[in-house]
């Protein structure tokens, strides 16, 4: 740090330090600045440096250091109050409140000292003529902290009743405290109503809406307002993350994760702030943080993850169980110190209650990915008690009922029968029972179940059921094909059972169900060959598969009766025909057959089997342009899939539905489905691949809804996993683009520029350069808004070159205009700005000279661009005149500005009604310039011209048009009229100084 030589330099250094991130580095510099102030030997310099030091301590983890600079300031005030100017006098009384809260938050400060200080604050405020509002607020904080509810309620009422004055906390902070108390008293709805002006942006400050968003999380969960809770977490955590002093609010976000099934994200939050485990400067927020660490880690232990590695205090590795024990001990020790100081048990009771909370929501998807420890969110497995032998007949009956009706639980039911039989002495199952156990064991094994199907076939034969034996052998052949065995071998293996079962059925030796089982296995194998065919498919492959399916249908149709299994065979056969039709290019027939199959499954009470075909139908309907049918089918698939739908399938359906719903403009519902898609992709272990794409889509829908903070969190999470080689460079560029838009809306212009530049670098290599040019232009805008004027100018130059190469005059002109405005702030100054704006005018004129006669729309757009360029030229010249000290040059610049405004008006007049609002804006700007030049008559004429423009066809009260001109949905007409009336009044009262 360079040496401070004068008071102005000290003030600049303090202002610069105040803009730095919270933390020890900023505090240390404040300490050095105090030493520099003392060397200046200026009392006010020392006072301001002490105030600066006190402020940075308050907004950091070293709040305990505030007391020393404040004690010194108070001593200086008592000894020489005349050394304080008005601002520092106000500041001294303002920070009395910080001292009250600061003492309360330090358990080593006796409660008697806190009460004494409260009295001192009340005395000094009364002497200074301040309201008691801030005093009662401080008293409320003391009473609420120690658990003296009656006193807290009295102080709360007195706080609200007292007049607001200069010492009252800002509206945002006051509303936070008031709502916090209501939530503490269980009045969640009232709390949220009190917080509403802060949440809606009416009131804000350095720490709001940060703390209100954090405090609202649990009340929203308790009320079941989950969408709002999720939004508040994503928006609020983004605000809290960079602010070291907000450990208490940070703890609220960790608590939210622990209570909503987002334990993995909670661990990520702990990992981001290791210092929060050990920072001792603010014991109260440390207690709050450690309490939710206990809540989170004990939740992990309850899920069977107590041995998982988790982030904790530096210096060693921690498991969830170890950290829970450590944090509980530390938290309760801190709580005991507060309770000993306070003479109550209130702090300890609240800490224990917070640690003991149970989840309020089983799962609340957030849209952001967290690396999940194994089995997070799954119930802890418990050893199931095996049924006794006396229950075996009931288990057999239930298993047979489930398998006969094709229920998903049938496999587990037969496994339970097997366990019961094995665990009971003297119980022997007959061959039929053992055959069904083996068959369902084979089903559970999937592609690896061929040998078990063979064992089941042998047992069916032993049970003298040759039809079921052949069906089991046929299923074994099919699963060999599923396991990757050559389809030809599978067909050979099924050939024998196929011939035998047909002969057996013809002789009456088996029933339709068993014969259909063999024919279905053979048809599935032939369909497998269709799936595996590479390139143009031979007609014989399709033909053989279709013949097999139709043979099955011929056997089953008309014979299903009440047999659910046969109905399922019929439905699956129709679905196979639908697939074959699709392969042959007959998409409409395919869609009809899939719809028929889904309806047959659903009609048979087997909706979970319909799910696959409804999903296929949705894809075909989308291809055919029938979006309504696609949406219906997707919704049905999700409904019918129910709990048996695998996570990855659920994710795919939700994302498809998001895209369909989003295409018809329902961004809010599309966002809900994309959110679900991201969640289920994570559950399926597809977070870095399919999940990243779902987050990309979700972020886009949130952008469309203007939910910038939520979108930014989601898009940043998506970018962590999006890869050009996996998701395509277009997805990466679009995500960066959206994120840049979000950051720009949030005022994070430097980061927005970085994202836009990164996207532009990728787009630079694309054959079509429009996106590259647009991103370069947007990056330039962000750089300018971030105050990086030279970098912004270079980016605009690059964008202009790209616009020129693309033949896009509008982009080129806008880049020149932007550079002109930047030039006013750089060394080029007014002359450089004039040259650039003149160049923009020339580009418009040149483009108009070559536009073709039949390109009327293009001509009108260029004329409009020219009008806006003249208008901005006039504004720029007027702005430059205000910075010039020479009267003659000021007048000359204003004359030039007026000339450009007049040109703008003339251009907009040529566009007739389409540019009415633009024309009147330019007319009014010209009128104000006329007044600056002392020409009231001309100014009045321009004001009257605007009033005439809106006189006909507009309602006097509402400003709404009659359809011939632009409406007043945004209040433009009313605003123009009001400004014209004001200009006319000024002009009529102004003496004419033109000399005419």
Per DSSP bridges, beta strands 318-319 and 309-310 are: antiparallel
Flag whether pLDDT at 50 surpasses 60.
yes
> Are residues 930 and 943 in contact, defined by beta-carbon separation less than 8 angstroms?
no
Task: Say what the pLDDT of residue 384 is.
Answer: 41
| Contact (CB, 8 A) for 780 and 814 | no
Instruction: Give the separation between CA 472 and CA 165, rounded to whole angstroms.
Output: 87
Give the pLDDT confidence score for residue 375 in this predicted structure: 44
Query: Which residues are CB-contacts of 514 (< 8 A; sequence separation ≥ 6)?
Result: 465, 467, 468, 470, 471, 501, 505
Q: Tell me which residue of 238, 901, 717 sits closest to 893, measured CA to CA.
A: 901
DSSP assignments along 263-284, one per residue? HHHHHHHHHH-GGGGT--S-HH
Lowest mean pLDDT among 34-43, 513-522, 609-618: 34-43
Give the 3-state secondary structure of 24-39.
Answer: HHHHHHHHHHHHHHHH
Rounded CA gap, 891 and 466, in Å? Answer: 109
Query: Measured between alpha carbons, how far is 62 from 42 in angstroms, rounded to an integer?
Result: 28
Q: What average pLDDT does this structure show over 451-472?
A: 95
Q: Which helix (H) or strand (E) holds 533?
A: none
Please check the confidence at residue 533 and state whether its pLDDT lies above 90.
no
pLDDT of residue 514: 95
What does the pLDDT read at residue 853? 72
SS3 at position 508? coil
pLDDT value of position 537: 60
**What is the rounded average pLDDT for all residues in the chain?**
90
Within 2-88, strands assigned E span none
pLDDT tens column, 873-902: 999 999 887 555 567 788 888 999 999 999
Peptide bond into 201 cis (omega under 30): no
Q: How many CB atoms lie within 10 A of CB 172?
A: 22
What's residue 377's pLDDT? 41
pLDDT in tens, 773-796: 999 999 999 999 999 999 999 999
Determine contact, residues 326/312, Cβ cutoff 8 Å: yes
DSSP class of 690: I
**pLDDT reported for residue 896:** 92
For residue 477, the model assigns a pLDDT of 94
The conformation of residue 688, written as its DSSP 8-state character, comes to: I
Percent of the chain at pLDDT above 90?
73
Backbone phi, psi, residue 205, to 5°: -160, -165
- The pLDDT tens digits for 691-709 are 999 999 999 999 999 999 9
Is 49 exposed, middle or buried, given 0-12, 13-18 or 19+ CB atoms closer than 10 A?
buried
Q: DSSP string spanning 106-134?
A: -TTS-HHHHHHHHHHHHHHHHHHT--SHH
Written as one string, the DSSP assignment of 568-599 is: HHHHHHHHHHHHHHHHTT-HHHHHHHHHHHHH
If one counts every other C-beta atom within 10 angstroms of the C-beta of residue 62, the result is: 22
Residue 165's SS3 state is coil
Alpha-carbon gap, residue 710 to 126, rounded angstroms: 46
pLDDT of residue 753: 96
**Which of 596, 601, 653 has its CA nearest to residue 622?**
653
Mean pLDDT for 734-744 is 97
Q: Which two tokens stand for residue 695?
A: 């987050």
> Does residue 545 or residue 532 have the better pLDDT?
545
- Choose among 650, 720, 659, 657: nearest CA to 692: 720
CA distance 681 to 647: 7
pLDDT score at 627: 94
What are the pLDDT digits (tens) for 356-409?
999 999 989 999 987 655 444 444 333 344 444 458 889 999 999 999 999 999
Residues 397 and 383: their CA atoms lie apart, in Å, by 24
**pLDDT tens for residues 306-361?**
999 999 999 899 999 999 999 999 999 999 999 999 999 999 999 999 999 999 99
Q: What is the pLDDT of residues 833-870, one digit of tens each?
A: 999 999 999 999 999 998 887 788 899 999 999 999 99
Query: What pLDDT does 425 receive?
Result: 66
The whole-model pTM stands at: 0.83
pLDDT value at residue 376: 43
> What's the token pair of residue 418?
């097997």
From the list 246, 247, 297, the residue with the least C-alpha distance to 277 is 247
Torsion of CA 499, 503, 504, 506, to 10 degrees: 140
CA–CA distance, 909 with 924 (Å, rounded to integer): 14
Instruction: Give CA angle at 25 (22, 26), nearest 5°.
Output: 50
Enter the tokens of residue 508.
Answer: 């009456």
pLDDT at 963 over 50: no
Q: Are 911 and 860 in contact (CB under 8 A)?
A: yes
Residue 996, CA distances (Å) to 898, 991, 993 in order: 17, 12, 8
């Amino acid at each position: 740090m360079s040496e401070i030589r004068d008071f102005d330099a000290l003030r600049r250094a303090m202002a610069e330090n105040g803009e730095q991130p919270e933390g020890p580095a900023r505090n240390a510099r404040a300490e050095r600045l105090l030493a520099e102030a003392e060397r200046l030997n200026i009392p006010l310099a020392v006072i301001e440096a002490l105030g600066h030091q006190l402020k940075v301590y308050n907004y950091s983890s070293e709040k305990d250091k505030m007391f020393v600079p404040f004690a010194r300031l108070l001593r200086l005030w008592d000894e020489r109050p005349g050394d304080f100017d008005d601002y520092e006098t106000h500041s001294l009384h303002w920070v009395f409140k910080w001292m009250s809260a600061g003492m309360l938050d330090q358990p080593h400060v006796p409660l008697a000292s806190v009460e004494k200080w409260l009295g001192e604050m009340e005395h000094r405020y009364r002497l200074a003529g301040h309201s008691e509002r801030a005093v009662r607020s401080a008293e409320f904080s003391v009473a609420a902290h120690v658990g003296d509810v009656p006193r807290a309620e009295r102080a709360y009422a007195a706080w609200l009743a007292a007049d607001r004055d200069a010492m009252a906390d800002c509206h945002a902070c006051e509303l936070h405290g008031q709502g916090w108390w209501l939530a503490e008293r269980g009045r969640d709805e009232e709390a949220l109503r009190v917080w509403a002006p802060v949440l809606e942006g009416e009131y804000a400050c350095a720490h709001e809406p940060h703390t209100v968003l954090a405090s609202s999380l649990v009340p929203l969960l308790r009320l079941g307002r989950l969408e709002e809770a999720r939004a508040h977490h994503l928006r609020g955590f983004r605000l809290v993350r960079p602010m070291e002093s907000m450990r208490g609010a940070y703890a609220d976000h960790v608590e939210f994760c622990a209570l909503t099934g987002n334990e993995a994200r909670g661990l990520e939050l702990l990992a981001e702030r290791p210092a929060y485990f050990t920072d001792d400067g603010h014991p109260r927020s440390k207690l709050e943080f450690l309490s939710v660490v206990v809540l989170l880690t004990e939740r992990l232990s309850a899920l069977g993850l107590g041995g998982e590695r988790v982030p904790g205090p530096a210096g060693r590795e921690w498991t969830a169980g170890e950290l829970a024990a450590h944090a509980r001990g530390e938290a309760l020790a801190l709580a005991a110190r507060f309770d000993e100081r306070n003479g109550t048990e209130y702090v300890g009771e609240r800490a224990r209650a917070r640690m003991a909370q149970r989840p309020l929501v089983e799962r609340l998807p957030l849209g952001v990915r967290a690396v999940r420890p194994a089995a997070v969110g799954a119930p802890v497995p418990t050893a199931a008690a095996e049924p006794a032998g006396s229950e075996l007949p009931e288990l057999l009956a239930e298993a047979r009922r489930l398998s006969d009706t094709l229920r998903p639980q049938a496999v587990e039911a037969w496994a339970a029968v097997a366990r019961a039989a094995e665990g009971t002495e003297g119980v022997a199952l007959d061959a039929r029972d053992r055959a069904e156990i083996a068959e369902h064991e084979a089903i559970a094994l999937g592609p690896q179940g061929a040998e078990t199907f063979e064992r089941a076939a042998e047992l069916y034969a032993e049970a003298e059921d040759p039809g079921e034996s052949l069906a089991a052998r046929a299923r074994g052949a099919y699963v060999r094909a599923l396991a990757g065995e050559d389809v030809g071998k599978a067909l050979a293996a099924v050939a024998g059972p196929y011939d035998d079962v047909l002969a057996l059925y013809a002789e009456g030796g088996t029933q339709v169900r068993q014969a259909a089982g063999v024919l279905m296995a053979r048809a599935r194998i032939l369909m497998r060959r269709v799936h595996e065919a590479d390139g143009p498919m031979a007609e014989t492959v399709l033909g053989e598969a279709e013949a097999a399916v139709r043979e099955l249908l011929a056997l089953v149709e008309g014979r299903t009766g009440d047999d659910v299994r046969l109905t399922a065979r019929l439905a699956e056969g129709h679905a196979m025909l639908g697939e074959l039709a699709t392969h042959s290019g007959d998409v409409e027939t395919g869609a009809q057959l899939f719809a028929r199959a889904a309806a047959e499954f659903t009609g048979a009470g087997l909706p979970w089997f319909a799910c696959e075909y409804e999903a296929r139908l949705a894809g075909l309907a989308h291809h055919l342009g029938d979006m309504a049918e696609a949406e219906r089918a997707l919704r049905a698939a999700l409904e019918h899939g129910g709990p048996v739908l695998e996570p990855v399938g659920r994710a795919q359906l939700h994302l498809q539905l998001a895209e369909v719903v989003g295409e018809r403009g329902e961004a809010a519902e599309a966002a809900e489905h994309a959110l679900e898609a991201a969640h289920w992709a994570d559950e399926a272990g597809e977070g870095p691949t399919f999940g990243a794409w779902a987050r990309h889509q979700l972020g886009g829908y949130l952008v469309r809804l203007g939910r910038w903070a939520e979108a930014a969190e989601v898009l940043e999470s998506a970018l962590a996993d999006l890869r050009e080689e996996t998701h395509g460079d277009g997805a990466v560029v679009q995500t960066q683009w959206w994120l840049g838009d979000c950051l720009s809306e949030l005022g994070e212009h430097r980061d927005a520029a970085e994202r836009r530049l990164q996207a532009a670098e990728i787009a630079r290599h694309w054959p079509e350069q429009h996106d590259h040019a647009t991103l370069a232009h947007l990056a330039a805008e962000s750089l300018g808004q971030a105050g990086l004027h030279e970098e912004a100018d270079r980016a605009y130059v690059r964008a202009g070159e790209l616009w020129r190469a693309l033949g896009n005059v509008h982009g080129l002109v806008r880049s020149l205009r932007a550079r002109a405005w930047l030039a006013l702030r750089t060394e080029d100054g007014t002359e450089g700005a004039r040259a650039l704006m003149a160049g923009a005018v020339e580009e418009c004129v040149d483009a108009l000279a070559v536009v073709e006669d039949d390109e009327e729309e293009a001509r009108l757009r260029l004329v409009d661009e020219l009008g806006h360029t003249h208008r901005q030229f006039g504004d720029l010249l007027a702005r430059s005149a205000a910075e010039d000290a020479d009267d003659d040059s000021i007048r000359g610049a204003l004359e030039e500005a007026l000339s450009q405004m007049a040109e703008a008006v003339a251009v907009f007049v040529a566009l007739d009604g389409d540019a009415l609002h633009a024309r009147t804006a330019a007319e009014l700007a010209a009128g104000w310039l006329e007044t600056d030049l002392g020409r009231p008559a001309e100014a009045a004429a321009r004001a009257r011209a605007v009033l005439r423009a809106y006189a006909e066809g507009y309602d006097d009260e509402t400003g709404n048009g009659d359809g011939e001109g632009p409406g007043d949905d945004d209040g433009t007409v009313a605003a123009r009229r009001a400004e014209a009336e004001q200009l006319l009044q000024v002009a009529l009262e102004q003496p004419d100084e033109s000399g005419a």
